[in-house]
Amino acid sequence: MLPAIVRSLWLSSSSVSHTHRLPGLALGACVVRTLCTPHGHGDPDVHRHSVKYAVEQCEKRLAEQNIPEPDLSARHMMAHILNGKSLHHVHSRQKTILTDAQLQEYRKMAERRLERTPVPYIIGEWDFRYLTLSLRPPVLIPRPETEELVQHVLQDLKTIPTSSSTRGVEGSDTDSSADTGSSADTGSSADTDSSADTGSSADTGSLHCLDIGCGSGAISLSLLHECPEVSVSAVDINTAAVDLTRHNAARLNFENRLDVVHCSAAELAERFPAQMFDVVVSNPPYIPTGDMPGLEKELNYEDQFALDGGEDGLDVVKDILACSAHLLKPGRSLWLEVDSRQPPVIEEYVARHPDCNLEWLASHTDFQERPRFCHLRRRWS
């Protein structure tokens, strides 16, 4: 079962990118004024400083300015003002009277939303599966589809025999924050060299995953949270992403099983020893450059290198395909999240490049029935 997506504002599909529609958020100057103006509401039972009034006015102005998802934007920002994150929190406090300081803060948030800053950047955090991650621009805001990618990886990890029988996910009796083993896969002689190559300190799980293009750490940290036997190496070409993943790992207390490395996908074969990983997973940049101008304005706040995958969208994917057989143990999986047009292209690419030493297994659909997740396997020899 997938966890509830508590604050998913975005909006996959229908837009040009197929996936990259962000939580909208923009209030206009009028909104800003209205939020602090005590006139104009027809219902005498609604106090002009109440949560209900402020949210209604905010939503109205957002809608007038054609800001995407005005209702959700207004309510998520109010939830943050009220120190809660569920929309229910806002609903249950409709009559709460806001202080001047709260109204002022809400007004500032509204101003940013009117500039189409994504809500997660305005409130500085976002939920991903069971975790709340700190977020700051330009590091990519994790999308709900990626929660499904993690689910596939977790299922895959369950099929791998390990020395321990206590592997579990949240809700099991196993303490996910505990050290669960003495080294990362004792079966691999290469593992002992990994610290030297990468500066790694992640060495406590019996299964070892690599997350390529870790961004905020959403995939890596969820794997660590939900699979106690896993240790993860997370890499990103962007230092802001590396820093944010480290920050989130420290906040969530996962530093002992996570190794964050600043490097590009093209460097991975040099940076990591052969056959080190049980799973390689990536949500790489995959939007074809030609599609970039058509993306929603909110995406301008995100690092364009996190989105733009080159002419065919597959520049980084091809780097990953080229090094995965080196990185993976025989028979182990590579999972990729891509654009719905790309799985057949990747399948054909792998067939035409036997030197990749990868076998295509399947593509899987996301919650909107679009083929988005590619499952490949390193050949046994």
Ligand X SMILES: C[S@@+](CC[C@H](N)C(=O)[O-])C[C@H]1O[C@@H](n2cnc3c(N)ncnc32)[C@H](O)[C@@H]1O
Between residues 20 and 332, which has the closer beta carbon with respect to ligand X? Answer: 20
Between residues 283 and 342, which has the closer beta carbon with respect to ligand X? Answer: 283
Report the nearest approach of ligand X to the CB of residue 189 (Å): 26
Spell out the residues 6+ positions from residue 231 whose beta carbon is closer than 8 angstroms to its own. 184, 202, 203, 204, 205, 207, 208, 209, 224, 257, 258, 259
Beta strand pairing status for 371-378 and 328-337? antiparallel
Closest listed residue to residue 331, CA positions, set 280, 258, 267, 263: 280
β partners of residue 265:
none
Q: Which residue has the tokens 């949210």?
A: 55
**Structure token digits, residue 128:** 């991903």
Between residues 81 and 314, which has the closer beta carbon with respect to ligand X? Answer: 314
Between residues 281 and 350, which has the closer beta carbon with respect to ligand X? Answer: 281
Report the nearest approach of ligand X to the CB of residue 239 (Å): 9
Report the nearest approach of ligand X to the CB of residue 18 (Å): 13
Determine contact, residues 339/16, Cβ cutoff 8 Å: no
β partners of residue 334:
280, 376
**Structure token digits, residue 9:** 């504002």
Between residues 32 and 322, which has the closer beta carbon with respect to ligand X? Answer: 322
Residue type, 140: L
Between residues 146 and 231, which has the closer beta carbon with respect to ligand X? Answer: 146
Report the nearest approach of ligand X to the CB of residue 217 (Å): 8
Spell out the residues 6+ positions from residue 258 whose beta carbon is closer than 8 angstroms to its own. 202, 217, 220, 221, 224, 231, 232, 233, 234, 245, 249
Between residues 109 and 306, which has the closer beta carbon with respect to ligand X? Answer: 306
Burial of 4: CB neighbours in 10 Å, binned 0-12, 13-18, 19+: exposed
Between residues 19 and 65, which has the closer beta carbon with respect to ligand X? Answer: 19
Closest listed residue to residue 49, CA positions, set 293, 27, 41: 41
Report the nearest approach of ligand X to the CB of residue 86 (Å): 22
Report the nearest approach of ligand X to the CB of residue 332 (Å): 20
Report the nearest approach of ligand X to the CB of residue 55 (Å): 29
Report the nearest approach of ligand X to the CB of residue 302 (Å): 8
- Tell me 334's DSSP state: E
Between residues 58 and 316, which has the closer beta carbon with respect to ligand X? Answer: 316
Determine contact, residues 363/345, Cβ cutoff 8 Å: no
Spell out the residues 6+ positions from residue 311 whose beta carbon is closer than 8 angstroms to its own. 288, 289, 290
- Tell me 310's DSSP state: -
Q: What are phi and psi of 117, to 5 degrees?
A: -65, 130
Provide the binding-site residues for ligand X, judged by CB under 6 A: 140, 142, 146, 212-216, 218-219, 235-238, 241, 264-265, 283-285, 303, 305-306, 316, 319
Report the nearest approach of ligand X to the CB of residue 338 (Å): 10
